[in-house]
């Protein structure tokens, strides 16, 4: 296992599978009241430069359930928000804590933090990648479909951090991946380069959502304007008109296809209320699995892989 979780591009298929297997065990343990203090006496520093509901609650709850403690550090209230170099923050927190989770804007900030920290660093979200969310997505798909390899995953919407991480995670796990984005909203070029060179699974970048969704086993979407893009909302609403997950689109997918959404959802924009509610069970399983997937990551990075 890598020292850090910065992006799924860094992980092998075997490492992703190991995280998912441990996440399944963590979920089983919780459902059967099998509590284990794998991280007893350990502390996770959580740096938030972007607001959050699921990320904060799932990491904080996960640390508690594993016997450890989580510290919330707001970017506005800590020295990092006042201009302290990220290199110094990394070295100071490494003297106090056993791990760092950061939710921020630039991927370079996370990479620098990891370079100077002597403890594990977990990417809770950047504008480039959302690895913890996609690990939860893959866990949920495998729960409902019993496998990942050979399935077709379709993403409709902005080529953002979710699209980037879904492309990488899906292809590495042997899934065919199709993405539909408007012109000018494509996934990151580094991710597209990886996708074109990936072996064992097919990748397609489409302009028409109908083309991407055809025969899909899993249909995934996200908001059209992410955090920090609020001023672009009107412009994006025009650009993404027609990129909605609705009944007509789902009729093109494989019978019994799943729907996933990382939340929060804007019903009536990227997804209709009808489709959302039809697949609410899957979507909220996905939300719950953030907890179990992240517990697996923290256990593997911070717990010394004690016997489960």
CB of 90 closer than 8 Å to CB of 78: no
Kindly list the catalytic residues.
103, 130, 133, 222, 262, 290
**Above 70 in pLDDT, residue 227?**
no
Indicate if the pLDDT at residue 230 is higher than 80.
no
**Does residue 176 sit in helix, strand or coil?**
strand
pTM of the model: 0.96
Kindly state the tokens that stand for 261: 């959404």
Question: Whole-number mean pLDDT of the chain?
Answer: 95
118 annotated among ligand-binding-site residues: no
Q: Kindly state the percentage of the chain with pLDDT values over 90.
A: 88
pLDDT at 35: 83
pLDDT at residue number 83: 78
At residue 130, the 3 state secondary structure works out as coil
Q: Yes or no: say if 23 and 295 are a contact pair by the CB < 8 Å rule.
A: yes
CA proximity to 73, closest of 27, 31, 124, 127: 124
DSSP secondary structure of 79-94: GGGGT--HHHHHHHHH
pLDDT, position 269:
96
Q: Helix, strand, or coil here: 18?
A: helix
At what angle are helices 13-31 and 161-172 packed, to 10 degrees? 100
Mean pLDDT of 15-20: 98
Q: Is 229 annotated among the ligand-binding residues?
A: no
As a whole number, mean pLDDT of residues 111-129 equals: 98
Cβ-contact 266, 239 below 8 angstroms: no
**How would DSSP label each residue in 179-221?**
EE--TT-PPPHHHHHHHHH--SS-EEEES-HHHHHTT-SEEEE
Mean pLDDT of 285-307: 91
Is 236 annotated in a binding site? The answer is no
36 is in an annotated binding site: no
55 labelled as ligand-binding?
yes
Question: What pLDDT does 67 receive?
Answer: 97
53 is in an annotated binding site: yes
The response to whether 262 counts as a known ligand-binding position is: yes
Per the annotation, does 97 bind a ligand? no
Please answer whether residues 262 and 134 qualify as being in contact, where contact means their C-beta atoms are separated by less than 8 angstroms.
Answer: no
Residue 1 reports pLDDT greater than 70: yes
How much is the pLDDT for 233?
81
- pLDDT of 308 reads 60
Q: Tokens 């110094």 map to which residue? A: 88
Residues 146-156, mean pLDDT to the nearest whole number = 98
Q: Has residue 307 got a pLDDT over 70?
A: no
For the ranges 26-30, 33-37, 171-175, the lowest mean pLDDT is seen at: 33-37
pLDDT of 113:
97
* Cβ proximity of 174 and 13 under 8 Å: yes
Query: Which segment of 63-67, 197-201, 247-251 scores lowest on mean pLDDT?
Result: 197-201
pLDDT digits (tens, 9 = 90+) for 256-279: 999 999 999 999 999 999 999 999
Give the residue, 123 or 305, on which the prediction is more confident. Answer: 123
Q: Is 227 annotated as a binding residue?
A: yes
State the sign of the Cα–Cα–Cα–Cα dihedral 297, 300, 301, 303.
positive
Q: Which two tokens stand for residue 56?
A: 């904060």
Q: How far apart are CA 149 and CA 202, in angstroms?
A: 11
pLDDT at 293 over 80: yes
pLDDT tens-digit profile of 124-150?
999 999 999 999 999 999 999 999 999
Q: What is the structure's pLDDT at 57?
A: 98
Whole-number pLDDT of residue 300: 97
Residue 91 neighbours by CB under 8 Å, 6+ apart? 116, 117, 118
Q: What is the rounded (10 degree) CA torsion for 256, 249, 262, 193?
A: 100
pLDDT at 79 exceeding the cut of 90? no
pLDDT at 232 over 80: yes
Q: Cα separation of 34 and 158, whole Å? A: 40
User: How many residues would you count in the chain?
Assistant: 308
* pLDDT, tens only, 212-221: 999 999 999 9
Q: What is the mean pLDDT of residues 56-74?
A: 97
Quote the CA–CA distance of 87 and 251 in Å, as a whole number: 51
């Amino acid at each position: 296992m890598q020292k850090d979780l910065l992006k799924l591009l860094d992980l092998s298929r075997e490492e992703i599978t190991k995280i998912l297997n441990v996440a399944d065990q963590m979920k089983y343990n919780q459902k059967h009241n099998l509590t284990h203090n794998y991280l007893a006496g350990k502390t996770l520093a959580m740096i938030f430069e972007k607001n959050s509901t699921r990320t904060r609650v799932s990491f904080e709850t996960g640390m508690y359930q594993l016997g450890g403690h989580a510290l919330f550090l707001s970017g506005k209230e800590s020295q990092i928000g006042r201009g302290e170099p990220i290199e110094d923050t990394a070295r100071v927190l490494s003297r106090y804590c056993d791990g760092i989770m950061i939710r921020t804007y630039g991927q370079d900030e996370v990479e620098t933090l990891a370079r100077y920290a002597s403890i594990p660093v977990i990417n809770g979200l950047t504008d480039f990648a959302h690895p913890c969310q996609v690990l939860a997505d893959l866990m949920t798909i495998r729960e409902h479909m019993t496998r990942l390899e050979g399935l077709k995953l379709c993403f409709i919407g902005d080529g953002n951090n979710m699209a980037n991480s879904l492309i990488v995670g899906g292809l590495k796990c042997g899934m065919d991946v199709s993405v539909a984005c408007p012109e000018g909203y494509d996934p990151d070029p580094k991710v597209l380069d990886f996708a074109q060179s990936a072996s064992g699974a097919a990748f397609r970048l489409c302009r028409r959502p109908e083309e991407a969704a055809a025969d899909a086993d899993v249909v995934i979407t996200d908001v059209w304007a992410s955090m920090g893009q609020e001023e672009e909302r009107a412009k994006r609403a025009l650009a993404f008109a027609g990129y909605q997950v609705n009944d007509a689109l789902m009729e093109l997918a494989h019978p019994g296809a799943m729907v996933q959404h990382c939340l929060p959802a804007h019903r009536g924009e990227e997804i209709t209320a009808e489709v959302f509610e039809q697949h609410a069970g899957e979507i909220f399983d996905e939300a719950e699995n953030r907890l179990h997937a992240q517990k697996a990551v923290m256990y593997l990075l911070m717990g010394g892989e004690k016997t489960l």
